[in-house]
Amino acid sequence: MSDTDPRDQLVDHLPALRAYAINLTRNVATADDMVQDTVVKAWTNIDKFQPGTNMRAWLFTILRNTFYSSRRKTNREVPDVDGAFTARLSEKPAHDGRLQMADFQKAFVQLPDEQRETLVLVGAAGFSYEEAAEMCGVAVGTIKSRANRGRKRLAELMHLTEDGAMELTDKATIAVVTAGGSSAF
Amino acid sequence: MSHKKTDPKTVQQIDENLKRVFDVQLQQELPDRLKDLLAQLKARDAGKDTGAEK
């Protein structure tokens, strides 16, 4: 083995990069275009990657810049949301019940870009607030505020209240269990 | 009642959902054009680098 080429690590980050792109664009075809552009850019500019730093964060940042610059260019305010995002998910029932997942997805795609991407970075992809702030080029407080507003909006859209949060989970679970088991029992 | 902060239980539930959705997306198979992309880039570079050796 020769010295490790950071380009060999790119492949490991493709699924996460694509998941991020899908959440950002809400359109699988557009997401794949973005991932393709990002990989080509990363490959060509690999000398700008500092070994030892977080490659996933670097790739996400490239993808993010690609997304926002293309959005500026096309000046498209209304995103082209496709159904594949939710449809594919509903094929795979989660153990908590697919009803709730589908509802969650519907609520999530309604969030503004900034809140959606912040929640994906810190809520799903496991980046710290500090990392997300650096990736988005904003203050840590801005990231925290976007995450808080995003979570609050999701809670409203899903009618989660302080008292009802767990109750809804139970109801949804019972609903799924009942629907699935009604013929058998 | 309107609270400024979402309560921790709800936050936890929302983040669990976010992770679950993300995990499902992570497990989706990559389309061929993305799977082939790195090999294509590698081949392109190899063609450039070894051009003198041919």
pLDDT in tens, chain A (185 residues): 446 889 999 999 999 999 999 999 888 999 999 999 999 999 999 999 999 899 999 999 999 999 998 877 776 545 556 555 554 554 444 455 555 777 888 899 999 999 999 999 999 999 999 999 999 999 999 999 999 999 999 988 887 654 444 444 555 554 544 444 333 33
Q: What residues 32-51 of chain A have any CB closer than 8 A to a CB of chain B?
A: 32, 35-36, 39-40, 43
A26 — alpha (psi -120 to 50), left (phi > 0) or beta? left
Residue A83 tokens, joined: 């159904």
CB contact under 8 A, A15 and B6: no
d(CA B5, CA A68): 29
Measured CA angle at A162 (ends A102, A173), to 5 deg: 40
Average pLDDT over residues B37-52: 80
Q: Which of A9, A115, A161, A170 to mutate to test the interface with B (most CBs of B within 10 A)?
A: A161
**B32-49 and A28-44 helices, crossing angle to 10°:** 20
The count of other CB atoms within 10 Å of the CB of residue A167 is 11
Q: pLDDT tens, A94-141?
A: 455 555 777 888 899 999 999 999 999 999 999 999 999 999 999 999
- What average pLDDT does chain A have? 80
Q: Is B41 on the interface with A (CB under 8 A)?
A: yes
Predicted confidence at residue A152, as pLDDT, reads 93
Work out the minimum CA distance from B35 to partner chain A, whole angstroms: 8
B15 CB neighbours in chain A (<8 A) are 123-124, 151
| Partner residue opposite B38 with nearest CB, options A10, A104, A124 | A10
A120 CB neighbours in chain B (<8 A) are 18, 22
| Confidence (pTM) | 0.77
Cβ proximity of B30 and A36 under 8 Å: no
